[in-house]
Amino acid sequence: NLLINNNFLKTFGSNINYLRSCVTFKGVNDFNINFKILIRSLSYVRKVTIMRKIFILPR
């Protein structure tokens, strides 16, 4: 499982580097901003699900 994750991370990283070399700096900047927003929304969803689990499980 760790090996698969490592290979995935390697290919993912090389793909990001390839995309960065292809697109302009502004495109990379927009991509980074979108990525940050995506991570924030994911963390928000995780918080909500954790809160729901905490509140729903005891009942």
- Structural domain includes residue 42: yes
State mean pLDDT over 11-30.
64
The structural domain count of the chain equals 1
Arithmetic mean of pLDDT, 10-23: 65
Q: Mapping DSSP to helix (H, G, I), strand (E, B) and coil, where does residue 3 land?
A: helix
Q: How far is CA 39 from CA 33, 42, 46, 57, in A?
A: 10, 5, 10, 27
59 pLDDT more than 50: no
The answer to whether residue 41 sits within a structural domain is yes
In which domain, by residue range, is 34 found?
A: 25-59
